[in-house]
Amino acid sequence: MVLVVYYAVPRRLKNAVLLIASLVFYIWGEPRFAIIMVSTAMTGYLAGLLIDCLKNAKGRRATLIVGLALCLTPLLLFKYGDFFINNVNTVFPGALSPLNLVLPIGVSFYTFQILSYVVDVYRKQVETERNPFYFLMYVSFFPQLIAGPIVRFQTIQEEIRYRHVTPELFASGITRFVIGLGKKVLIANNLAGLGANLAATGTRSVISLWMIAFTFTLQIYFDFSGYSDMAIGLGRMFGFHFLENFNYPYLSRSVSDFWRRWHMSLGSWFRDYVYIPMGGSRVSGPKIILNLFVVWLLTGFWHGASWNFIAWGLFYFVLLAIERAGFGRVLSKLPSAVSIIYTFLLVNLGFVLFNASSLGEAIFNLKGMFGFQALPATDLMAVYYGKSYALILLIACVAATPLPKWLLGKIKAVKADFVADLVTVFGLVLILVLATGSLIDGSFNPFLYFRF
């Protein structure tokens, strides 16, 4: 519907259509919190204007600090308020009353977009946006508003005013959107079903814990990368070029390589706005370790107000520090298969921390996976569900690699472009039909990153 209206109106009204559609989209899902999103966006907009107007270095810096603090306030209050209160109450029982605030959808993502704009204006790396409606459209743009990727203003600033959608770009957008839809509905949702069935059995064994961990590791990739694909695809249909967010992360040969491939927009955000300003890798060894510690503490905390998320972030801090100390060179000399398996195993263990409802549950599961909880090696239900979902697990493993893309490229390489195009169209139609049928017949299964 939005696409139809967008292409029906004159060029001068297209941004208005996107802004209205984005606001309606957010208000429809979170009417109570739309004012928070809009007010935070306007705070960032005004901070950018004031920083640009000021010539005094101290005044610009003070405005930057105040602007960042104000923009961060809703995120800190709604996402982390009760976490701090509960921890204070653990030490001083009953000292503070919980806020019990509901987390606004997408607050982590749009807050980081606003922060990056304010900092970039301060650094004079981006031209200050004078039109408040253009800036609000950038913050609220519905394809990637609620689960990323994190889009920086400089990436699309020019396209906000001048963009041209070619048939090729529109077609690539449709392709990308359908692929993302298939990732989410056909793979991630089925993997979620396997995980839920395993969890619902009430029995635990070493095998079942490993199956749950492995299933979630695949599920979160297809869930999150599927959303990113849909956002990138929709963006192309409207003439925007969003940067990639995933690059086959489960083929990484080291943990450092994994974080260059996984949630790339978040990783680059922390690199450019936290790690490098602290000195990055240009400082002494101990300071580099401190910088890494801060970045990964914040990365874990960004994902959730819980100790298991903090532990997840610090888990990666330890692994990356070890690789930086010299183990990374060892990994680079190992056969590819060995380093890929090593990295995937560690990522899998990391997601056990990530997926747990508490740090205690995560520790129990990790100990159980390695036989330290007096659990049986296997159980009948784990074997049953493993066999029942074997096909979807196989499909997920193959789809997480470039193999399908490689096979299509091989077809084109023998000058069979018509066959390749036919296979592509047939595949996209099949994915769309199956996904639509699954959505009609299935239950609601929200994106995992909606809660972040």
pLDDT in tens, 56-102: 999 999 999 999 999 999 999 999 998 999 999 888 887 788 888 88
- Whether 350 is covered by a domain: the verdict is yes
pLDDT at 408: 79
Q: Which residue stretches of the chain have pLDDT < 70?
A: 415-416, 442-452
Tokens coding 309: 């998320």
406/445 same-domain check: yes
Which of 230, 227, 218, 226 has its CA nearest to residue 193? 218
104/192 same-domain check: no
Q: Decide which of 117, 141, 163 is a domain's last residue.
A: 163
174/216 same-domain check: yes
Give the position of tokens 């893309």: 405
203/121 same-domain check: no
319/389 same-domain check: yes
Q: Decide which of 163, 180, 199 is a domain's last residue.
A: 163
Give Cα separations from 39 to 191, 323, 364 (angstroms).
38, 43, 43
pLDDT at 405: 86
In residues, how long is the chain?
452
Which of 101, 113, 312, 100 has its CA nearest to residue 217? 312
Q: What angle do CA 429, 431, 435 make, to 5 degrees?
A: 120
156/176 same-domain check: no
Give Cα separations from 251 to 255, 276, 338, 341, 355 (angstroms).
11, 27, 11, 8, 21
- Tally of structural domains, the chain: 2
271/151 same-domain check: no
95/76 same-domain check: yes
25/143 same-domain check: yes
Radius of gyration, CA atoms only, the chain: 23
pLDDT at 452: 57
Q: What is the residue range of 109's domain?
A: 8-163
Q: What are phi and psi of 243, to 5 degrees?
A: -75, 155
How far apart are the C-alpha atoms of 348 and 344, rounded to whole Å? 6
pLDDT at 450: 55
SS3 247: coil
148/181 same-domain check: no
- Whether 83 is covered by a domain: the verdict is yes
302/423 same-domain check: yes
pLDDT at 286: 86
With a pLDDT cut of 70, the percent of the chain lying above it is 97
Q: Which pLDDT tens digit goes with each residue over 4-54? A: 999 999 988 999 999 999 999 888 877 888 999 999 999 999 999 999 999
189/149 same-domain check: no
Give the position of tokens 């260059």: 260
- Whether 1 is covered by a domain: the verdict is no
Q: Is residue 241 among the annotated active site residues?
A: no
Q: Decide which of 129, 163, 197 is a domain's last residue.
A: 163
